[in-house]
Structure 1
Amino acid sequence: MTQGKISLASKTSNGTPGGGTAPAFPPSYEEATAGSSPCHSYSDGEMFIEFTWEDKNIRRVFIRKVYSILTVQLLVTLAIVAVFTFCDPVRNYIHANPGWYWASYAVFFITYLMLSCCTAPRRQFPWNLILLAIFVSIRTNNRHAFYSTTSVVMCLGITALVCLSVTVFSLQTKIDFTSCQGVLFILSMVLLLSGMLLAFVIPFGYVPWLHAVYAIMGAVVFTMFLAFDTQLLIGNKRHAISPEEYIFATLSIYLDIVYIFTFILQLFGSERN
């Protein structure tokens, strides 16, 4: 968390009769919001302005910004899914040209690395929003075109209920998910190794129950990640994300929701004939 301190000494006004002291003026709005939030204290004629990210107004604006961007992302995602699900020409084109499906993963990987690993593009406006828009349009790939319309709509509803329930639970519970990084890391490694095993087994013969177990594991792991990222965003637990990282916070929660939907679709979705 960013903290700083500014000391404003009282100045003597030459034009004031009797050499009275002029009041110390607070910083301007631009100074106060440049990198932190002000907390005022007075001592021996001096005013100290301490800046800290713990200010509730700063955190409230940060949460509002993250969820506003997230809402736009989800609406765009829903529109793209609807195109691939309900538009027959687009769906038939994807079925005939599966190369676009794999190309979207390459662009997704590049933009994801830039947003998650490079601080400068992630914090520099408007490049952060441009990269985020490219990421959303690419991440919502054409995988949904291979599933039936009914199963896609059903999985969207299940995902919405799961994400809403997890968000409300994360806000109300006393359990600190931000202190469970070790558990989440182990579960992620188990999920990764299970995916590698599944990729090795499938060429020798499809095993439905193994694929179902993998989908359940993925949905559970990313549901826990959603609770973890939500509490980091709210900032009322042991660890919190900096309000400067609103793009990274939005990206994390968006990916959690998308992966939950993807695993639920693998579990309950029926492939299109």
Structure 2
Amino acid sequence: MTSKVDNPPAYEDALQDPKYEPTPLQHGSSDAPPPSDSPGPGMYPGPPGYWSQAGMWAAPGLSPSGMPTTIPTLSASITATNPREMEGFLSTQWDSTSVRHAFIRKVYLILAAQLTVTFSVVAVFTFVEPVKMFVIRYPGIYWASLVVYFIVYCILICCKEPRRRFPWNLVLLGVFTVALSYMSGTISSYYETKAVLLAMGITALVCVTVTVFCFQTKVDFTSCGGFLCIAAILLVILGMVTSIVLAFHYVPWLHMLYAAIGAIVYTLFLVYNTQLLIGNRELAISPEEYVYGALSLYIDIVHIFLFILQISGSATD
């Protein structure tokens, strides 16, 4: 048992009274250090086997255990972001966004030129009576345009344009546009003017609605490629069945059903290709493939027009 005088001083007394400051041990001193279970001069009691010097309390930035007061956190192991790296990241993001916007503008400019040519040709075949009668009298011209349409389409899809100065892909796209425009014009010549104008208006409304929807919605339709492929195969099969049935004058309303399903399927294709063009979905096309982007949207819009024309033509009849 120790007396009250032998007890270590309080914390405040140790700070104020200089006689309790720890004295450094002299090298070679014969005095042995105090045992771990008893206090020495200038020490205060702590947990069993643990003693600290009173002077450690007064040391700035140190705790009683002699450790720094700064508590390590998870952020201490993470290196601070370099401002130059952050600026490079932001500039890269800005460059990619500006490239995508320039790509979208280029595609829609090409698409606008294609649609202008197509609907101008359709207007000629619709409003000019001698041209309309010439096409009806010589249907072989229609089949020739259909052959050119398929050949140029296969070339544009399967063959990649080499890096040359002369834009052969744009030339082929122009030939394809003229062929499909002529084919659409020959088909329109078999319908009344009122049906053609109605089909044009509905097609324009559908295209504007789909474009606004694709730029505003968060739903990703680019992951539905398999479903659209199955729908296209079923549409081809239904078209073959419809052509056979109508040849024998059975089920006359089947033609209307086929046209309605075709318009819906190509509207879904227009949504799919538009989101591929935007580029903020699961799938996207490269900014270098502006010909393919314009080609896909152009084909979707023209086929929507042709299917709606069949519906409006049957309704006016």
TM-score by length of 1: 0.78
Cα 1:252–1:125 change in 2 (3 A) is farther
Does the CA-based 8 Å contact 2:273-2:293 persist in structure 1? yes
Count residues in correspondence: 230
In 1, Cα distance between equivalents of 2:99 and 2:170: 21
Cα 1:204–1:124 change in 2 (3 A) is farther
Residue matched to 2:299: 255
C-alpha deviation, 1:174, in angstroms: 1.3
C-alpha deviation, 1:217, in angstroms: 0.7
Matched, 1:188 2:232: yes
Matched, 1:105 2:149: no
Residue matched to 2:221: 177
Q: Alignment partner of 2:161: what SS?
A: helix
In 2, Cα distance between equivalents of 1:233 and 1:153: 29
Matched, 1:158 2:202: yes
Cα distance per residue 1:151-174 (max 9 Å; x no partner): 101100000001110111111111
Residue matched to 1:202: 246
CA RMSD of aligned residues (A): 2.6
Q: How does 1:1-273 map to 2 (within 5 A)?
A: 55-120=96-161, 125-140=166-181, 141=183, 142-270=186-314
In 2, Cα distance between equivalents of 1:52 and 1:173: 22
Q: Alignment partner of 1:244: what SS?
A: coil
Does the CA-based 8 Å contact 2:161-2:168 persist in structure 1? no
Residue matched to 1:16: none
Counterpart residue type for residue 184 of structure 1: L
Tell me which stretches of 4 or more aligned residues in structure 1 moved more than 6 Å: 50-54, 121-124
Cα distance per residue 1:171-210 (max 9 Å; x no partner): 1111100000111111111111101111221221153211
C-alpha deviation, 1:94, in angstroms: 0.5
In 2, Cα distance between equivalents of 1:54 and 1:179: 26
Does the CA-based 8 Å contact 1:148-1:270 persist in structure 2? no
Please, which runs of 5 or more residues in structure 2 have no aligned partner?
1-82
In 2, Cα distance between equivalents of 1:228 and 1:116: 17
Mean alpha-carbon deviation: is it higher for 261-270 or for 143-152?
Answer: 261-270
Does the CA-based 8 Å contact 1:104-1:138 persist in structure 2? yes
Cα 1:203–1:123 change in 2 (3 A) is farther
Residue matched to 1:18: none
Cα 1:86–1:178 change in 2 (3 A) is same
In 2, Cα distance between equivalents of 1:103 and 1:122: 31
Does the CA-based 8 Å contact 1:114-1:121 persist in structure 2? no
Does the CA-based 8 Å contact 1:123-1:244 persist in structure 2? no
Counterpart residue type for residue 280 of structure 2: N
Cα distance per residue 1:81-112 (max 9 Å; x no partner): 01100111111111110000111100001100
